[in-house]
Amino acid sequence: MLPNRSRLSVLVFLLPPLLLYCVAVLFPIVQSMFLSFFSWNGISDMEFVGLANYVRMLTADDIFWRSFFNALGYLAICLVLQLGGALLVASLLTSMRRGRELIKTLYLLPAVISTVAIAFLFVRIYSIEPVGLLNQLLHWIGLGALERPWLSDINTVLTAVSAPEGWRFTGLYMLIIYAALLSVPQELEEAARLDGASRWQLFTKIRFPHIMPVWITTTIMATTYGLRGFDIPYLMTNGGPGQSSELLTTYMYKTAFSSTDFGYASTIAVFIVVECLVAVGLILFLLKRKADA
């Protein structure tokens, strides 16, 4: 328990960031909720429509639902690549004796490259005419039958736009998980080894439970980042072909700034906020329950 004066100073120092948070995060959310009850194209008079935007979004908008399921697919791919990749690389790093710093730096490199550069880079990698790196590689290894325009094929485009996002942040989560793995007590691992535990058992019974709090944090971070994914899909395909790579975020942006339907775009924005809160709640619930089991 802090003495009174310390508690007061903590509160005083917490106040400015709290105010900033309210202005930068809570206020726009409340404003978007307010605007979601109106029909407004930016230049005409605002028309109060009650819940009509919500009814339209949930019952009569095929693109909204398509974008929602695409966003879930995008999230799943990003999570597998980011968290799965990060856990794998971090675990392998703990077994390495030399070159750890080099590997860490190489994996972290994509996180500091501009999004626009990454998008353009991957457009080139996926291209078929002129032939890009991926199709060229497939040709060289005798899998020419798999060559395709990855960003124009409605069956591959969602995976193709998700992969750069996953690739980009694997290094960041790898660093966090690697730091957590280093904190696993060596005595515990030694004792388990002496008891005859396999590497898999060592990982599932000792290491992973120990890093569970960090794993929950990284999962929440990766999920919220994935749900608000926007820039790379927008730059690479603009949601296309058709709505094959349309995400809720790109759809919201287009509804606001291409269709000039600010009221309806705010409704989608409110849904994204709710979706993020539900996702975080679910992660906490499921992982805590698993940890308690």
By CB under 8 A, name the binding residues for another protein: 27-28, 31-32, 34-35, 38, 40-46, 123, 126-130, 149-152, 154, 236-243, 252, 254, 256-262, 265-266, 269
Nearer to another protein, 26 or 191 (CB): 26
Q: How far is the CB of 291 from another protein (least distance, A)?
A: 37
Q: How far is the CB of 255 from another protein (least distance, A)?
A: 8
What's the rounded Cα separation, in Å, for the pair 288 and 210?
13
Q: How far is the CB of 242 from another protein (least distance, A)?
A: 4
Nearer to another protein, 171 or 239 (CB): 239
Q: How far is the CB of 223 from another protein (least distance, A)?
A: 22
What's the rounded Cα separation, in Å, for the pair 11 and 25?
20
Q: How far is the CB of 252 from another protein (least distance, A)?
A: 8
